C-alpha cells in the first residue's frame, strides 16, 4: 500500500537534508512501527508523507497504491485516504470543531465523487464515534483544539481518523502527553480501525504504546534512513538495550 | 481646517463649495441653523485636512477625496428588508426621512422638523477644528431622525435606521436619547446603489443604568465615499456595546467619539473592517474615561486584500478623576495580499494614577501551520483559507450572542469572502 523508495527530503528554507535515502514498504493490513532516537527524522517522514510544503523531496518517490503522491497537495492526498494524526494538533481559534469535521468529511466525499452527508446523519456519526472515545460532545462545540488538554487533543485526532476512514494512517507520537488511561482509550480506537485493507504507520519512542497497539513490523530510523527492520520483538530488544548498539552496527 | 495659507482649492473642495451655493435655498433650518451652516462652509473654504493635521495623518482627505457628486433630489432609493428579522425600520431614502415613521412607546421625530424650528441648531457645528465630518455634515444636513426612548422602556424589537443613498449626496443626523434604565438595540445601515458621497452623524445619550446595543453595518458600493461619526455620552452605570462592520465603499472615515462622565459606565467596541480593491478605510476612535470605575474594551479585526489601505486610530484618555478605570484595546489585522496595508495608532493619555490600561496590535498573514492542518484533513486550499479568514473575524461577531444576529452578520461575511477573497 505504501512504498517509499530511496527518499531524500530537506527543509525547504534552510536546505538541511533530514531524510537521506529512506526505503520502507508497508502492506495493506499491516501495522508498522517506526522507532528511533530524537532527530532521526521520524516526524519529518510523517510530514513528507502528508505533503507539508516546508519540506522538499529531492530524490526518490513515495508510492501509495502504486501511484506517486509527491505532486499532490495535502488535501488531495487526504481525499485519497492518507491521514496524519499530529503529534501536536494545531489549535485553530474561531473554527468550531463540528464545523471543521463537517467541512473535512464532505470535502473528502466530494473529492471522491460521493454524496455529501446531510446534517442529521453527520451529527449521528459524530455522536456515535465520540462516545466510543469518551469525548464529551460539548467539547466539539468549542473552537478546534483550543483549550483542549493534551489527552483531549489526541482523542480528537483519533475521532477525526475514525470519521474520515482513511486507508493509510500515520500516527506521529500519538502516545506523547497521555496518561495510561487515555493511552488505552486511544489505542483501543486505533485497534478498532485495524483492517485488512488499511495500513498504519505508528511513530513512537516507547514500548508502552506497542504493548497496546501490537505492530506487525518494526523499523528503526537513524539519520534519515531505516537501519534495521524486524518484527515486534525488535521493539522489545530496543526497550532493553537502547539504540546505541544498533547505531554502532550501522556505523 | 486650520491651514491658513491654502494656495488653491482642489476640484473636490470647489465642488463642495459650489454644491453648497446651489443647495442653500433648499436646505432646511431657521436663522440659527443658517449661521451654523455658514460657519461650516467658511471652514471648508480653508481646505480639507491633509496629513499635516494629526487626526487625519493617515487619511489625507485633500488628496483622497476626488469625487464629489451633486445632490439629486429626483433620484429614488428603494428601502431594503430589515437586516434583523422583526426590526422596526426607520428609512432615510436619498436623504429624506419617512413621514409616517413611528414606533410604539418611543417618540420618533423627523430631523427636518427640528432643523426648521431651530431646536437642533446647538448640536450642529465642529467639535474641534479637525472635525471635518461634523463640518461637512453641518453644512449639508437635511434630515434624519430624533429617537427618544423613555425611561424604563425595554424595546425588544431592534430599531433599524436605514440610510439608503441612490447616488449623489446625502447628509443625515440621528440623535438618540435612551432614558434611565431603558434597554434597546439600534441597527444603523449605511448602504445604497450609487457612487454617492454620504455623511451621517449620530448623537447617543444614555441615561443612568440604560443599556444599548448599536450595530453599524456599512456596505456601500465600491465607488462611494462615506463619512460616519458616532457620538455617545454615557451616564452612571450605563452600558453601551457598539459593533461595526465596514464592508464597502472606496473611501471611508468612521469616527467613534465616546465620553463616559458617569461613574461605573461600561463601553464595549467590537469592529470588523473588510477591505478589498483600492478601498481606503479609516476608523478613528476618541474615548474619554471621565469618572471612577469606568470600563471599556475595544477589539478591531481587519482583513485587507488587493491594494486596500486601512487605518485604526484608537485614542483613550483617562481623566484625573477617573480612578480605577479599566481599558483594554486591541487591533488585529490579517493581510491577504502583499500590496494591502494597515496602519494602527494607539494613543493612551492617562492622568489618573490607579488604572489598568493596555493596548496591543498585530499584523499577520494566514498561519501556514493552520492551513496545513486543515488541508491534511482533505479541505482544499481555497476553502481552508476561507475558513481561517472567517475564523479571524467571526470571533468578534459571535460575541454578540444573539443567534439570529450572529447568523445574519456571518452570512454577510460569507458573501463578502465569496466576492472579494
Which residues, in sequence order, are bridge partners of residue B346? B314
pLDDT at B163 over 70: yes
Residue B2 in domain: no
Contact A52, A75 (CB under 8 A): no
The rounded distance, in Å, linking the Cα atoms of B303 and B271 is 11
Q: What is the pLDDT of residues B119-129, one digit of tens each?
A: 999 999 999 99
Residue B252 in domain: yes
Calculate how close chain A gets to B372, using CA atoms only, in Å.
Answer: 7
B4 pLDDT band, cuts 50/70/90, is: low
- Which pLDDT score, from 0 to 100, does residue B302 have? 98
Over residues B198-218, the mean pLDDT reads 98
The rounded distance, in Å, linking the Cα atoms of B28 and A140 is 58
The rounded distance, in Å, linking the Cα atoms of A79 and B290 is 59
Largest CA distance in chain B: 70
Please tell me which residue, B101 or A80, carries the higher pLDDT value: A80
Split into its structural domains, chain B has a count of: 2
- Which pLDDT score, from 0 to 100, does residue B30 have? 96
B5 pLDDT band, cuts 50/70/90, is: low
Which residue in A100, A103, A161 has the most chain B C-beta atoms within 10 A of its own C-beta, making it the best mutation to test that interface? A103
Residue B349 in domain: no
A89 neighbourhood in chain B, CB within 8 Å = 373
Question: Smallest Cα–Cα separation from B306: which of B192, B227, B222, B388?
Answer: B222
Q: Do A78 and B377 touch (CB under 8 A)?
A: yes
Count of beta carbons in the 10 Å neighbourhood of residue A196: 9
pLDDT at B2 over 80: no
Residue B343 in domain: no
Q: Is B381 on the interface with A (CB under 8 A)?
A: yes
B395 neighbourhood in chain A, CB within 8 Å = 93-94
- Which pLDDT score, from 0 to 100, does residue B265 have? 98
How many alpha carbons fall within 13 Å on the CB side of residue A7? 32
Q: Is A86 on the interface with B (CB under 8 A)?
A: yes
Tracing cell 456601500 back to the chain, one arrives at B220
Exposed e or buried b for every residue in B320-347, given b needs 16+ CB within 10 A?
Answer: eebbbbbbebbbbbbbbeeebbbbbebe
Choosing from B240, B260, B280, the residue where a domain stops is B260
Q: Do A100 and B377 touch (CB under 8 A)?
A: yes
Residue B234 in domain: yes
Q: Is A25 on the interface with B (CB under 8 A)?
A: no
Q: Is B375 on the interface with A (CB under 8 A)?
A: yes
Question: Which of B377, B388, B391 comes nearest A164 by C-beta?
Answer: B377
Question: Which of A78, A83, A93 comes nearest B391 by C-beta?
Answer: A93
**Residue A65: what are its φ and ψ, rounded to 5°?**
50, 40
Above pLDDT 90, what percent of chain B?
91
Name the average pLDDT for chain B.
95
Q: Looking at chain A, which residue has its C-alpha nearest residue B396?
A: A94
Exposed e or buried b for every residue in A26-38, given b needs 16+ CB within 10 A?
Answer: beeebbbbbbbbe
What value of ipTM does the predicted structure carry? 0.95
B3 pLDDT band, cuts 50/70/90, is: low
Q: Looking at chain B, which residue has its C-alpha nearest residue A157?
A: B377
Long-range contacts formed by B120-126: CB under 8 A, 24+ apart? B120/B33, B120/B146, B120/B173, B120/B175, B121/B29, B121/B30, B121/B32, B121/B33, B121/B35, B121/B36, B122/B32, B123/B173, B123/B175, B123/B203, B124/B33, B124/B36, B124/B37, B124/B40, B125/B36, B125/B39, B125/B40, B126/B1, B126/B40, B126/B43
Over residues B146-159, the mean pLDDT reads 97
The rounded distance, in Å, linking the Cα atoms of B88 and B160 is 6
Q: Are residues B376 and B240 in the same domain?
A: no
From residue B117, give the alpha-carbon distance in Å to each of A181, A238, B111: 78, 94, 10
Q: Looking at chain A, which residue has its C-alpha nearest residue B375?
A: A75
Q: Is A216 exposed, middle or buried (0-12, 13-18, 19+ CB in 10 A)?
A: middle
The rounded distance, in Å, linking the Cα atoms of A138 and A122 is 16
Q: Do B375 and A90 touch (CB under 8 A)?
A: no
Q: Which portions of chain A are predicted below pLDDT 50?
A: none
Residue range of the domain that includes B43: 11-260
Question: Which of B378, B390, B394 comes nearest A75 by C-beta?
Answer: B378
Q: Looking at chain B, which residue has its C-alpha nearest residue A89?
A: B373
Which residue in B334, B378, B413 has the most chain A C-beta atoms within 10 A of its own C-beta, making it the best mutation to test that interface? B378
Contact B331, B297 (CB under 8 A): no
Cell, residue A241 = 538495550
Q: Looking at chain A, which residue has its C-alpha nearest residue B380?
A: A75
Above pLDDT 70, what percent of chain A?
99
Name the percent of chain A in helix, strand, coil, to the closest 5: 40, 30, 30
Q: What is the pLDDT of residues B166-176, one digit of tens each?
A: 999 999 999 99
Over residues B112-135, the mean pLDDT reads 96
Q: Are residues B99 and B245 in the same domain?
A: yes
From residue A116, give the alpha-carbon distance in Å to each of A93, A99, A103, A107, A111: 26, 14, 10, 8, 10
Q: Looking at chain B, which residue has its C-alpha nearest residue A165?
A: B377
Q: Is B417 on the interface with A (CB under 8 A)?
A: no
Largest CA distance in chain A: 58
Residue B232 in domain: yes
What length does chain B have?
A: 421
Residue B265 in domain: no
Question: Which of B376, B387, B391 comes nearest A78 by C-beta?
Answer: B376
The rounded distance, in Å, linking the Cα atoms of B58 and B311 is 7
Over residues B242-262, the mean pLDDT reads 98
Q: What is the pLDDT of residues B300-329, one digit of tens each?
A: 999 999 999 999 999 999 999 999 999 999
Over residues B88-93, the mean pLDDT reads 97
Q: Is B392 on the interface with A (CB under 8 A)?
A: yes
**Residue B328: what are its φ and ψ, rounded to 5°?**
-135, 130
Q: Is A177 on the interface with B (CB under 8 A)?
A: no
Choosing from B260, B277, B297, the residue where a domain stops is B260
Q: Do A94 and B391 touch (CB under 8 A)?
A: yes
**Please, where are the H alpha helices in B125-272?**
132-140
The rounded distance, in Å, linking the Cα atoms of B365 and A116 is 31
Residue B342 in domain: no
Q: Are residues B247 and B390 in the same domain?
A: no
Q: Is B380 on the interface with A (CB under 8 A)?
A: yes
Q: Is B45 on the interface with A (CB under 8 A)?
A: no
Angle at A211 between CA A205 and CA A216, to 5 degrees: 85
Amino acid at each position: 500500500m505504501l512504498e517509499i523508495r530511496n527518499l531524500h527530503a530537506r527543509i525547504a528554507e534552510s536546505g538541511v537534508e533530514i531524510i537521506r535515502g529512506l526505503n520502507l514498504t508497508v502492506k495493506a493490513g499491516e501495522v508498522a512501527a517506526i522507532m528511533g532516537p530524537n532527530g532521526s527524522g521520524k516526524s519529518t517522514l510523517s510530514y513528507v508523507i502528508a505533503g507539508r510544503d516546508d519540506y522538499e523531496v529531492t530524490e526518490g518517490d513515495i508510492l501509495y497504491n502504486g501511484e506517486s503522491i509527491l505532486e499532490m497537495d495535502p488535501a488531495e492526498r487526504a481525499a485519497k485516504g492518507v491521514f496524519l494524526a499530529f503529534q501536536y494538533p494545531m489549535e485553530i481559534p474561531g473554527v468550531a470543531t463540528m464545523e471543521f469535521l463537517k467541512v473535512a468529511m464532505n470535502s473528502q466525499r466530494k473529492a471522491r465523487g460521493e454524496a455529501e452527508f446531510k446534517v442529521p446523519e453527520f451529527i449521528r456519526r459524530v455522536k456515535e464515534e465520540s462516545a466510543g472515545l469518551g469525548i464529551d460532545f460539548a467539547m466539539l462545540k468549542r473552537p478546534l483544539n483550543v483549550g483542549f488538554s493534551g489527552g483531549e487533543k489526541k482523542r480528537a485526532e483519533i475521532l477525526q481518523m475514525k470519521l474520515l476512514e482513511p486507508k493509510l494512517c500515520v500516527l506521529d507520537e500519538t502516545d506523547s502527553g497521555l496518561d495510561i488511561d487515555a493511552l488505552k482509550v486511544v489505542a483501543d480506537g486505533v485497534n478498532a480501525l485495524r483492517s485488512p485493507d488499511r495500513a498504519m504507520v505508528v511513530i513512537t519512542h516507547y514500548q508502552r504504546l506497542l504493548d497496546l497497539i501490537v505492530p506487525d513490523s518494526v523499523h528503526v530510523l537513524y539519520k534519515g534512513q531505516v537501519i534495521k527492520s524486524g518484527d515486534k520483538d525488535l521493539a522489545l530488544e530496543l526497550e532493553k538495550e537502547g539504540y546505541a548498539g544498533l547505531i554502532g552496527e550501522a556505523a | 481646517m486650520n491651514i491658513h495659507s491654502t494656495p488653491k482649492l482642489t476640484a473636490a473642495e470647489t465642488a463642495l463649495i459650489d454644491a453648497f451655493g446651489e443647495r442653500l435655498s433648499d436646505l432646511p433650518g431657521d436663522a440659527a441653523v443658517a449661521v451654523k451652516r455658514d460657519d461650516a462652509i467658511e471652514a471648508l473654504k480653508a481646505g480639507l485636512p491633509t496629513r499635516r493635521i494629526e487626526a487625519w495623518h493617515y487619511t489625507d482627505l485633500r488628496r483622497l477625496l476626488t469625487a464629489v457628486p451633486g445632490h439629486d433630489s429626483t433620484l429614488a432609493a428603494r428601502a431594503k428588508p430589515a437586516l434583523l428579522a422583526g426590526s422596526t425600520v426607520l428609512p432615510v431614502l436619498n436623504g429624506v426621512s419617512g413621514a409616517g415613521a413611528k414606533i410604539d412607546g418611543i417618540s420618533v421625530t423627523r430631523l427636518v422638523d427640528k432643523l426648521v424650528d431651530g431646536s437642533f441648531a446647538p448640536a450642529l457645528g465642529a467639535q474641534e477644528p479637525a472635525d471635518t465630518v461634523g463640518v461637512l455634515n453641518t453644512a449639508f444636513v437635511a434630515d434624519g431622525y430624533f429617537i427618544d426612548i423613555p425611561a424604563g422602556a425595554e424595546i425588544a424589537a431592534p430599531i433599524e435606521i436605514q440610510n439608503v443613498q441612490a447616488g449623489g449626496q446625502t447628509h443625515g443626523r440621528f440623535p438618540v436619547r435612551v432614558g434611565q434604565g431603558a434597554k434597546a438595540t439600534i441597527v444603523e445601515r449605511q448602504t445604497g446603489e450609487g457612487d454617492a458621497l454620504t455623511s451621517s452623524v449620530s448623537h447617543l445619550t444614555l441615561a443612568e443604568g440604560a443599556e444599548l446595543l448599536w450595530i453599524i453595518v456599512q456596505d456601500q458600493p465600491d465607488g462611494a465615499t462615506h463619512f460616519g461619526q458616532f457620538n455617545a455620552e454615557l451616564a452612571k452605570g450605563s452600558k453601551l456595546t457598539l459593533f461595526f462592520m465596514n464592508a464597502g465603499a472606496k473611501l471611508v472615515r468612521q469616527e467613534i467619539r465616546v465620553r463616559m462622565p458617569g461613574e461605573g459606565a461600561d463601553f464595549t467596541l467590537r469592529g470588523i473592517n473588510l477591505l478589498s480593491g483600492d478601498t481606503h478605510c479609516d476608523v478613528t476612535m476618541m474615548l474619554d474615561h471621565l469618572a471612577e470605575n469606568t470600563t471599556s474594551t475595544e477589539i478591531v479585526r481587519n482583513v485587507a486584500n488587493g491594494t486596500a489601505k486601512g487605518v485604526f486610530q484608537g485614542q483613550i484618555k483617562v481623566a484625573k478623576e477617573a480612578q480605577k478605570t479599566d481599558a483594554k484595546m486591541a487591533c488585529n489585522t490579517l493581510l491577504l495580499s502583499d500590496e494591502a496595508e494597515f496602519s494602527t495608532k494607539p494613543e493612551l493619555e492617562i492622568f489618573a494614577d490607579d488604572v489598568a490600561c493596555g493596548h496591543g496590535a498585530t499584523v499577520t498573514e494566514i498561519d501556514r501551520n493552520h492551513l496545513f492542518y486543515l488541508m491534511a484533513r482533505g479541505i482544499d486550499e481555497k476553502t481552508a483559507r476561507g475558513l481561517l479568514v472567517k475564523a479571524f473575524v467571526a470571533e468578534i461577531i459571535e460575541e454578540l450572542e444573539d443567534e439570529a444576529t450572529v447568523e445574519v452578520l456571518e452570512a454577510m461575511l460569507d458573501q463578502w469572502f465569496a466576492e472579494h477573497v
